[in-house]
Structure formats: C-alpha cells, structure tokens
Amino acid sequence: MIAEVIVDIAHSDVDKIFDYECGEEIEAGMRVTVPFGRSAATGFVMRLKEKSDFPADKLKRIYRAEEDYPALTAESLILAQKIVARYRVPMALVLRLFLPAEMRTGKVSERYRSFAKIAEGAAPVFSRAAKKQEAAFAYLSEHGETDAAILRERFGGAVNALAEKGYIAIEKRRVLRDPYRGVEGEKISRALTPAQRLAVKTIEETDKTVTLLHGVTGSGKTEIYLTLIAEQLRKGKSAIFLVPEISLTPQMLSQLRARFGESAAILHSGLSAGERFDEWCRLREGTAKIAIGARSAIFAPVENVGAIIIDEEHDGSYSSESAPRYNTADIAKLRAAYNGCKLILGSATPSVETYRLAKEGEYQLITLPDRINRRPMPDVVIADMRREVRRGNASAFSSQLRERLEKCLSEGNQAIVFLNRRGYSQTVVCRTCGYVAKCEHCDVALTYHSEEDCLKCHYCGTRYHMLSACPECGGTHINYVGTGTQRVVGELKKLYPKARILRMDNDTTSGKEGHFRILKEFGEHRADILVGTQMVAKGHDFPSVTLVGILDADMSLHFADYRSGERTFQLITQVAGRSGRAEARGEVVLQTYDPDNYILRFAANYDYNGFYEYEIGMRAALAFPPFAKIVRVMATGTDERETLDALREVYGKLQEIYGKYPEKFLFFNKMHAPIKRIQNKFRYQVLMRLTDGTPLKEIYDACADVKRKNAMVYIEENPSNLS
C-alpha cells in the first residue's frame, strides 16, 4: 500500500503530500514516523492508495506507526481540509488542533497498573505452610480481577508466589487518570419548566441547523443544554459542550460530574498534561461521549455527534488569536453539517452578528424572557459619578453604592464589586464632564500613545494632539489611568473593617487553580465581598449575592473598538446577572461619568431589543460589521527590513485585488500597526474594510504566497483588537 503523508512540520515549504510505502497495519489518520531528508520526522497519514505516481524505487517506507490506532478520526481529516482551504495555513498546523499537545511532544507518560486474576484452568493444591497463598487465591476467586497492588498489600509475597506457580495471571494494563475523582455533586433532577420544555422541543423539531437560545441570565439555559445532551447520550450519540473557560466553576464541574459521570470528559486548563491527555484518550476510544471545554474542545475526537452547544456564544474567547485564526462557531457549523446534527448558540446577550442572522430567519430563534420561577431581574441604579466628583467625593464609591453595601453586609449577604479595567488606561476621559476623545471619522475612542504623546485612531490611523484641557468643559482633570483592584480593596477595608474581602484579577490568580480557589471560597460564603475585573462577570451562580457594584461602567464603552458598545452592554448584563439569583431580591449599582448614554440605559432596563435596534442602526450608518468586513493583514518579524519588505509585497498583491473590485473596498490603507513592536517583533499592516467577503479568498491566496525567513504574514477578520 501507499500512504499519503503530511509531515508534522508547520512550514509552507513542506506543506504537501509525500508518498510512502507501508504495510497492512497502517490506517488513514495514524501518526507515523517516516524517513525524511537525512533524518526522520513524524507525520500524519491522510489517505491510503494502491499506487503512487512516483517510481517504486524512489519510494521510501514508513518506519512505524506511533500509536496502534488512528489518532485522527475520519471527520478530523475532512474538517482539516476545509479549514486549510478557508484559512490558507499549512496542513500540519491544522492537524495539530485535533490532538492534545502532549501527544505530539511525547512528553506525557502513560500510566500503567497491574491486575491479577485466576489463571485459566488453575486447580491448585496448597500445602499447609502456604496459608497466605491459599487465602489470596480464595480472595481472587471471590472478587474476580483485582488491582495487584491492593492484593499485595493484603497478602504480600504470596501474590508473586502464586504467579510464579502459574495459578494466577498478572497483567499490566494502561489506566487513564481521572482528574475528577472525588469531585462529587448531588444529582439534582428537576422537572423542566414549560418554557424549558418548549425550548427543547423547538430545538429538536426545527429544520434549521443552528438555533440561537436567547435567554436572560438565570432563565435556565444550562438545564436545557444538559437535557439536550442527555437525550443524545440516550440515543447512543455524543455531544460537544463549549463554555468559556471561566464558566467551569466548581459548581458547574460537580453538576456535570453528578449528571454524566464518566461519560463526560472535561477539558480545561487546570488539568495536568497527563490528565488532559487521558481525557482526550477517553473521548477518542469512545468511553467518554461528551466533550466539555473551552474553544479548543470543538476539535474533540468524538464521533457520531448528536449536538453541539456553544454557551455564552458572544464571548471573545471563541476567536482564536493564533494561526489559524478560526472562529469557533464556523468550525462548529462544519461539524454540525458533517454529522447532520444541531448547533445551539446560547447567550443572554447574543452578539449583534448572531442576533441579526436569527432575526432574519437564518437561525431558529428561541427567547426566554423570564428568570426561573419568575424571579425578578435585579434593580439597576445608575450613579452619576460627575455629581460625586462635584460634591467632593474622590473615592471609588458613589454614595448610592455605599449605602447599599452597608445594607447588604448588615443583612449577611454577599456583594460583588466589579472593575472594568480593560482598555481604560489608554482612553482619555474628562473626570469633570465625562467627555471622551473620539475620532472625527470613525466614532471610536482614541488611544493614547505615550512614546509619541499623541492620540490615534486604530481604525483609520488619524493622529491627534494629546489634550491638556477638556474641549467640552475646559476642565483639566484629564484621566487615562484606571483605578486598580488593589486600591478598591484598600478603600473597602477602611470603610468596612469587619468585612471579609477577596480580590480576583490577573495578579491574584496565578493559573486557573487560583480562579477556582477564589470562586470556591466565595461560593462557600467564606467572604463577604468579591472584588474583581472581567473574570468575575461570567456564568457564576452565587445564591447569596444580592448586590453588584459596577465601578466604571463606561470605561469599555470607549474602548477603541467598533464593538465597544456591544461589549459594554454584554458586560453590564452579565455582571448584573450575578445578583439576586436566589430568593432575596438583587440590586445593581452602575457608576458612570456618562449617565445618559444609550447603551447604559438599555443595559439598566434589560432591553436587549432596544440595544440591538440602536446598535444595528449605528453599524449600518457607519458601515461596520455585519454590514462590512474589517480585514487586517499583518506582517510581523524580528527583522524590521524583512518585515516591511514582506508587507510591501503583500501590499502590491492586494492593490491588484483592490483594482479588480474597487467597489468592494470602503477603506484600504497601509501603515504601521498602532503598536509598532510587541515582544520585539515589528508590526506592519494593511487595513481594509470590505463591503462583503467577495475578495477574501484572493486576499488569503495573496498572503499565503508571501514567504520570508524571519517574518510572517497573517490575516484577521473583524479582529477584536486593532492595536
């Protein structure tokens, strides 16, 4: 037989099929070691065939298979080809997505244990001196196959003696680590509410592949997902359940564990390399049928998929930030098409793009407007921070928030204080009137560049002078440094010396373990106030939380990004959703320098539709996605000349495409990336705004052809970050 092999080297020079001779034992999808150049390389068997076009004496033979099973499923191989065609990246790079990193590096150790059982046809006669042996034999006859270590603990050397005599057989077998041993949860089985039941029924019966489940926070979406998954399991099918990493809270883990036991493989970054590898193996061999995890779990090796669920579909973590820069929902759609199964996107705050498709009938839309048991949404109070400043309150807390914090603590409830730190430091805000410096052409906030002491627009590159006074009110309290969590905790400690306060941000949470520990502690009510940044916003269900304070609600509103309004709405809704989830009524205090802002008003009223209509109108007027596509081609490299040279070549090719469809280009410009150098790599870019995706394929082709030793070129579509 002949095997078509892709060598596992992610370089465009070797990104092609090589033919090798092979024996019967080789199957498509296997990892193999092959002679390559003057040494050896690992590779992937893409296909088997009878004959090669190469002369037989030129063909080399595969050395060996790395595993005795194909690591890549038939579906993975097909999917990989589609991804390569779409994103124009080397095949090896794409195939790696389907495998645990530990498998390729060979660094993970497989774990073995020995098991003892009665040898076939054994009819031992024991001498009187061999009491222990007799007892051990009797034990095995009664209990059947037993872990040899346990047996040795009880019967010592007698075990080996029995084995030597051939009365028992000891066999070494691979065992898979179980990272969730000891994770227990009570199995809660609840009857679905009528709304949940209807949602499940609609999903099962719709002839549309994709369903958007738009349900307010606390409307019971999770229960719907779990029901759908259980139903697929019952049919003998498998399922993929994606959640943003942070949502894998202790509660969620134990709930999944209690519900699905070992049928669920939960892949998250808190696992050790060995554990992750073993969870992957359980999915590959089919003992586990539900793959649960963050973005990368969309590549899980499950077969016969019956449902794919993407929870919090709007979450930014579903876009990959390294090559291939895929969008998780796009891959999910490919898998749904291959398996003929349903894809469910769930969110309380769907992305504008997704919601538009649902409204236009492309997706099935299901709306859950009420919380479970009609629990009310928390009341939102908007606190005008300009007034606080005028009144001489220089602290991080408004009087409204302080008042409610006192009440919350005195009643023995818990509070979350949320800081919106991202994007703050670079945006310029007047502390007196709330004015934010924006681009005249793009209506997005400008970003401060300290090296040049100027403001820049990340969408069109226009430069502005740094402000010394506010153009609106003349005030000189111009601010571009945020309040840190540390300062907030300090202030809280002074105000409430008895309160137990936890802080959660990137500094306090070394690794995901840290997250987990803090959330667990807070969840067990061993603290009264949780102070944190973005990571406290999502998915948690803490019943004793009755107050959420959002310290600077508008800070992400002015992030230099066309999606900042959407992000802010999502963030506020998510954070607010942490309050009042159980019996006690919840409250939210939203502090802002811009209290009349539409986005904040919509968020405070839980008015998603109002927000959507407003936002989609803005996007249409300004020709932002989904009415246009922003495409950035980036050249980066440590050698500035080579990087620039690569970009020039790309630019030349892109100009030809531009010439071919000028009407498709709203914007086309070559420039320095806003941040010129990151980690010693120079960055040059071509920024385009297209009316639609027509020229995309040619753009990808053009970029794939540009090759440099010390620089790489990549493409981003509607990037979430234009710095």
Task: Enumerate binding residues for Zn ion (CB under 5 A).
Answer: 439, 441-442, 457, 459-460, 462
CB 630 within 8 A of CB 689: yes
Among 602, 597, 604, 609, CA closest to 557: 597
Max CA pair span of the chain: 103
Q: Which is nearer to ligand ADP, 8 or 245 (CB)?
A: 245
The one among 133, 222, 426, 636 contacting ligand ADP by CB under 6 A: 222
**Which helix or strand (DSSP H or E) is residue 713 part of?**
strand 711-717
Binding status of residue 568 toward ligand ADP by CB under 6 A: no
Residue 376 CB, shortest distance to ligand ADP, in Å, is: 13
Which of 163, 192, 618, 675: binder of ligand ADP (CB under 6 A)?
192
CB of 287 to ligand ADP, least distance (A): 28
Secondary structure of 163-209 in the HEC alphabet? HHCCCEEEEEEEECCCCCCCCCCCCCCCCCCHHHHHHHHHHHHCCCC
Whether a cis peptide bond, with omega within 30° of 0, leads into 378 is: no
- Candidates 21, 541, 607, 645: give the one binding ligand ADP (CB under 6 A): 541
Among ligand ADP, Zn ion, none, residue 71 binds (CB under 5-8 Å by kind): none
Distance CA 409, CA 403 (A): 10
Residue 247 in contact with ligand ADP, rule: CB under 6 A? no
Q: Does 193 bind ligand ADP (CB under 6 A)?
A: yes
Query: In the 8-state DSSP scheme, what is residue 126?
Result: -
* In the complex, least distance from residue 256 CB atom to ligand ADP, rounded to whole angstroms: 12
Number of residues that bind ligand ADP (CB under 6 A): 14
Would you give the DSSP letter of residue 647?
H
Q: Which residue is nearest to ligand ADP (CB)?
A: 222
Nearer to ligand ADP, 348 or 401 (CB): 348
Q: Which two tokens stand for residue 674?
A: 């806003």
Q: Which does 362 bind (CB under 5 to 8 A by kind): Zn ion, ligand ADP, none?
A: none
**Which residues have a Cβ under 8 Å from the Cβ of 687 and sit 6 or more positions away?**
459, 461, 630, 631, 632, 667, 668, 669, 670, 671, 722
Contact in structure between 574 and 537 (CB atoms under 8 Å): yes
Q: What are phi and psi of 466, to 5 degrees?
A: -65, 145
Site membership for ligand ADP, residue 27 (CB under 6 A): no
Buried b (16+ CB within 10 A) or exposed e, 539-555: bbbbebbbbbbbbbbbb
Query: Is 218 near ligand ADP (CB under 6 A)?
Result: yes
Pick from Zn ion, ligand ADP, none: which does 372 bind, CB < 5 to 8 A by kind? ligand ADP
**217 sits near ligand ADP (criterion: CB under 6 A):** yes
Least distance (Å) from ligand ADP to the CB of residue 198? 12
Fill in the amino acid letter for 90: P
Min dist CB 459 to Zn ion, Å, is 5
> Among 217, 215, 236, 234, which residue's Cα sits nearest to residue 226?
234
Kindly state the smallest distance separating residue 457's Cβ from Zn ion, in Å. 3
- DSSP-assigned states of every residue in 308-368: EEEESTT-GGGB-SSSS--BHHHHHHHHHHHHT-EEEEEESS--HHHHHHHHTTSSEEEEE
In the complex, least distance from residue 438 CB atom to Zn ion, rounded to whole angstroms = 9
Per-residue contact track with ligand ADP, 357 to 396, x per CB under 6 A? ---------------x------------------------
Question: Residue 625 CB, nearest distance to ligand ADP (Å)?
Answer: 27
Interface stretch with ligand ADP, choices 29-37, 114-122, 190-198, 320-328 (CB under 6 A): 190-198
Phi/psi at 181 (nearest 5 deg)? -60, 130
As measured in angstroms, the least distance from the Cβ of 412 to ligand ADP is 20
CB of 553 to ligand ADP, least distance (A): 21
Instruction: Residue 459: name its binding partner from Zn ion, ligand ADP, none (Cβ under 5 to 8 Å by kind).
Output: Zn ion
Residue 220 binds ligand ADP (CB under 6 A)? yes
Which entry of ligand ADP, Zn ion, none binds 441, CB below 5 to 8 A by partner kind? Zn ion
Report the b/e string of 63-79 with b at 16+ CB within 10 A: bebbeeebbbbebbbeb
221 near ligand ADP (CB under 6 A): yes
Distance CA 560, CA 439 (A): 9
User: Stretches 5-13, 185-193, 563-571, 614-622: which one binds ligand ADP (CB under 6 A)?
Assistant: 185-193
Q: What angle do CA 501, 507, 511 make, to 5 degrees?
A: 105
- Toward Zn ion, which CB reaches closer, 143 or 463? 463
Based on the shown chain and the rule CB under 6 A, indicate whether residue 219 belongs to the binding site for ligand ADP. Answer: yes
Structure tokens at 634: 């980036």
Least Å distance, CB 592 to Zn ion, is: 24
**Minimum Å distance from CB 435 to ligand ADP?**
36
158 touches which of ligand ADP, Zn ion, none (CB within 5 to 8 A by kind)? none
Counting Cα atoms < 13 Å in the Cβ hemisphere of 602 gives 20
**398 forms part of the interface with ligand ADP (CB under 6 A):** no
Count Cβ atoms below 10 Å from residue 429 Cβ, excluding itself. Answer: 24
Asked if 195 contacts 221 with a C-beta cutoff of 8 angstroms, the reply is: no
Binding to ligand ADP, residues 410-469 (CB under 6 A)? none
Distance in Å, CB of 223 to ligand ADP, minimum: 4
Q: Between residues 185 and 475, which has the closer beta carbon with respect to ligand ADP?
A: 185
Query: How far apart (Å, rounded) are the C-alpha atoms in residues 371 and 192?
Result: 13
Does position 179 interact with ligand ADP (CB under 6 A)? The reply is: no
Q: Which stretch binds ligand ADP (CB under 6 A): 220-228, 426-434, 608-616, 668-676?
A: 220-228
Residues at the interface with ligand ADP (CB under 6 A): 190, 192-193, 196, 215, 217-223, 372, 541
